[in-house]
Amino acid sequence: MFATLRNALLLSVSLLGAAWLYHWGIAGEDRYSLFDVLQGHPVPAVVAQAGGPDVGAKSEPPAPEQAASEGKKWSADELNSTELLLRTNRALADLTESVVPSVVSIDTTTTVDVPRYEPVDPFGFFGYRRSNQRYQAPGLGSGVIVSKEGHILTNHHVVAGVDAIRVTLHSGDQYDAEWVGSDPAADVAVLKIQVKDGPAGGERPVFRPLPFGDSDEVRVGDLALAIGNPFGLSESVTRGIISAKQRRLSDGANEYFQTDAVINPGNSGGPLVDARGHIIGVNTAIFTGQQDVRVWQGIGLAIPSNEAREVYEAIAFGRPLLRGYLGIELSDLTRYQAAVLRLGTTVGALVTDVAKDSPASSVGLLPGDVIVTFDGAEVKSADETLQRIRLKKSGSPVKATVIRKGEPIELTLTVAERPDTTTLKLRSDITASGQGITDNLGMTVRDLTDQEREAFGLRPSDPAIVISDVKPDSQAAQRFLPGDLIHMINRDPVRSSAEFFDLLGSLPKNEQSVIILTRRGQRFYAVLNPGG
């Protein structure tokens, strides 16, 4: 019994001695030990680092953003102080106040024809006649100003096929906006505010563009603010975090950020901003787990800012879109898949599908292969590999190591241009197409002067342009004469020659379209087939 007590005492003394040696000889003053507990020192989580303010001092805590940038650890008094909460609250309010003036509400109108059938006689014995009832369908969306010239970034689906676009600024001023171009595949569109339609008698408005952030630097868990026009409630701001990145399956699909910041119908096209007030995404969709439920269920999707910026610069400045493509779908390896494939690790990217006639299929890459190295670096995840493929330039050779049936295989793939890079739609291209169709028909059109409108008995708002010249032996010579007035194309009014070119360039190919004209006061119709 005495021997047991002696051994326990010796063990205790040895442990205390070891702790003392570790504290003073190895850990130093920056370590937290048993002696600190015995002396009543606070835990390290609430103690400032060496050289920081004294715990007992009453100095004012630095701003949260400053502390974050300096890697500061808050003291116990600072963490328990309501001043910290007030500073954080003010920082968020200041951030919101600086961002909101760059966000606009977008109202659109689309002409819709609804067929109606009316009886020929009161009882319908002799059949029914068809007539169209026309009405203007309103639309709603959001956008963000990205240039001092008034360029606006929004979603393609917000403005696709609309007849008129009206934007409302933070100041309450309203302007007509021109559609400049879109990338339907990326769901990004660019508008430009028409200053000439702004408030009369004032100076040229000053637009406050919001800068782009680098979406590649965004981390899961980062703060995110969504600003938009949900359900017509303008300038609504919601706060959340980035819940996930790179929500896509293949290198040919769009990438999205997932956020829990509340997004509802009307938010589409509005910005997702970071703590610096920079655009890190364009809000585009919400996930609904139940059919016919179009309200927030916790998952919002946003187009990363680098993708949106690339489309914007291609449309506004004519810069080419560069997107790498191999034609593969990838997923992360599960433990079960790794065991079945006889791999000792889940590090790598599993090829789940290979597109036909793609660069990947041409070198024999197969579903079930596991990519373990790509372009000289180890593959960490499927998402990371897809991003690296996208950033590679078209024509670049890339070496990859894949595991197939337990054996490594070396492949060299040539990155191609992503197929959807040709889907960019520009207003200038549509106008040029309309001008080309007009030239091919062999006619020239121009706007009417005020004197000519008065002579024809036309009001300033009446749609009309005039055919000023028709080439002999042309297609136009078989249908038109100089002096004919063009009023409509397929029920769309023509108020200017520019609008005529836009409508003509937008006509479906190889389908008949109708032009409504007047000649010496008599109305007639001409049928066109732009692709014929």
Q: Tens of pLDDT along 88-99?
A: 888 888 888 899
Whole-number pLDDT of residue 335: 84
* CATH no. for 425-528: 2.30.42.10
- The matching CATH number, chosen from 2.40.10.120, 2.60.120.650, 3.40.50.300, 2.40.40.20, for 102-119+128-321 is 2.40.10.120
- The matching CATH number, chosen from 1.10.10.60, 3.90.1170.40, 3.40.309.10, 2.30.42.10, for 324-421 is 2.30.42.10
Whole-number pLDDT of residue 175: 92
Whole-number pLDDT of residue 48: 36
Query: Quick check: helix, strand or coil at residue 4?
Result: helix
- What is the rounded CA–CA span in Å between residue 168 and residue 108? 11
pLDDT in tens, 364-384: 888 888 888 888 888 888 877
CA distance to 451, 462, 467, 518, per residue, from 454 (Å): 5, 11, 17, 16
Answer positive or negative: Cα dihedral of 484, 487, 488, 491.
negative
Whole-number pLDDT of residue 426: 72
Mean pLDDT of 437-453: 87
Answer positive or negative: Cα dihedral of 150, 154, 156, 161.
negative
Whole-number pLDDT of residue 497: 85
Q: Please work out, in degrees rounded to the nearest 5, the angle formed at the alpha carbon of residue 406 by the alpha carbons of 402 and 410.
A: 30
> Over 80: is that where the pLDDT of 479 sits?
yes
Whole-number pLDDT of residue 82: 78
Strand spans (E) along 251-406: 257-259, 271-273, 279-286, 300-304, 324-325, 328-332, 349-354, 370-374, 377-378, 397-404
pLDDT in tens, 108-150: 888 766 666 666 666 555 566 666 666 778 888 899 999 999 9
> Over 70: is that where the pLDDT of 448 sits?
yes
- What is the rounded CA–CA span in Å between residue 303 and residue 270? 11
> Over 50: is that where the pLDDT of 492 sits?
yes
Whole-number pLDDT of residue 31: 45
- What is the rounded CA–CA span in Å between residue 331 and residue 303? 20
> Over 90: is that where the pLDDT of 212 sits?
yes
pLDDT range class, residue 64, cuts 50, 70, 90:
very low
> Over 60: is that where the pLDDT of 345 sits?
yes
Domain boundaries along the sequence of the chain: 1-37, 102-119+128-321, 324-421, 425-528
Whole-model pTM over 0.85? no
- What is the rounded CA–CA span in Å between residue 161 and residue 163? 7
> Over 90: is that where the pLDDT of 34 sits?
no
Active-site residues, by number, are 157, 187, 268
Whole-number pLDDT of residue 246: 60
